[in-house]
């Protein structure tokens, strides 16, 4: 991937209902969308995908009531039990294949297979419960995948945290991109993906090696 995506307005990215790869497609890239339970992974893939996304949602039942913490996402009725999949074409011929992981620890055995071959990860974090992201961030770092963090903005999220505080809480390196994101909003989600792609491109430059 040699082209820069900086200053690409997210609104210029093709919308949904574009099932065929554009002729200009050049760099086909697998990206992992990950994060803890209920943070908005499925929602983000839904909001950006130009093909009908693949989901593996199952209803949350009483059996999981003691294990799946619905604090902050009370209206949630389903959960991803295997994978989400979507695709988005960006400018400069870059096409992202988005692979979403499940959020719960009990699906951990699937994680490595879903992550296999990915070039980078977008880690979603809920600023109301930052500590819920520690395990996933640990996994991503262990895997060596470059990543960007997208803070999902929920309406009752505390406003008092500065970017610096959030970075410190997550122990992020200075070069790791961190953006605010509303996974329900296409442009916002595309911007988060563009931040990740730019990060991957910057790391790929000879002078950064
Ligand atoms: N306000 C707000 N709500 C969101 C956002 N992202 C997701 N939601 C809501 O949060 C709930 C959980 O979203 P999901 O997309 O199912 O979360 P997930 O990370 O895929 O969940 P699991 O697969 O179960 O781990 C849904 O009710 C979404 O509508 C966001 O950015 N802002
Ligand atoms: Mg999901």
> pLDDT-based confidence at 2, cuts 50/70/90?
very low
Rounded distance from Cα 62 to ligand 2 centre (Å)? 18
Q: How far apart are CA 34 and CA 188, in angstroms?
A: 17
The neighbour count for residue 54, using CB atoms within 10 Å, is 14
Q: Which residues hold their Cβ within 5 A of ligand 2, which is an ion?
A: 41-42, 80
Q: How far apart are CA 40 and CA 183, in angstroms?
A: 6
Write out pLDDT tens, residues 40-54. 999 999 999 999 999
Q: What is the reported pTM?
A: 0.88
Report whether residue 53 contacts ligand 1, using a CB cutoff of 6 Å: no
> pLDDT-based confidence at 146, cuts 50/70/90?
very high
Q: How far apart are CA 203 and CA 4, in angstroms?
A: 12
CATH number, domain 23-208, options 2.130.10.10, 3.20.20.150, 1.10.1040.50, 3.40.50.300:
3.40.50.300
> Is 174 or 8 the better-scoring residue by pLDDT?
174
Axis crossing angle, helix 134-143 with helix 108-115, rounded to the nearest 10: 40
Report whether residue 41 contacts ligand 1, using a CB cutoff of 6 Å: yes
pLDDT value of residue 4 = 44
Asked whether residue 7 carries a pLDDT value surpassing 60, the answer given is no
> pLDDT-based confidence at 12, cuts 50/70/90?
low
pLDDT value of residue 17 = 67
Rounded distance from Cα 40 to ligand 1 centre (Å)? 3
> Is 187 or 64 the better-scoring residue by pLDDT?
187
């Amino acid at each position: 991937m040699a082209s820069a995506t900086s200053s690409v307005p997210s609104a210029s990215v093709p919308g949904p209902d574009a099932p065929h790869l554009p002729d200009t497609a050049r760099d086909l890239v697998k990206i992992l969308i990950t994060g803890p339970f209920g943070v908005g992974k499925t929602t983000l893939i839904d909001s950006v995908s130009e093909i009908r996304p693949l989901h593996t949602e199952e209803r949350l039942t009483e059996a999981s009531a003691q294990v799946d913490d619905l604090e902050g996402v009370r209206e949630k009725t389903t959960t991803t039990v295997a994978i989400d999949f979507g695709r988005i074409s960006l400018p400069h011929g870059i096409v992202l294949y988005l692979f979403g992981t499940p959020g719960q620890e009990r699906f951990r055995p699937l994680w490595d297979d879903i992550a296999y071959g990915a070039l980078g990860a977008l880690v979603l974090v809920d600023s109301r419960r930052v500590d819920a992201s520690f395990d996933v961030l640990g996994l991503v770092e262990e895997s060596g995948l470059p990543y960007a963090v997208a803070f999902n903005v929920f309406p009752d999220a505390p406003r008092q945290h500065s970017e610096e505080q959030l970075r410190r809480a997550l122990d992020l390196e200075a070069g790791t991109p961190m953006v605010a994101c509303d996974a329900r909003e296409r442009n916002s989600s595309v911007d988060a993906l563009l931040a990740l792609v730019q990060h991957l491109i910057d790391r790929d430059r000879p002078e950064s090696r």
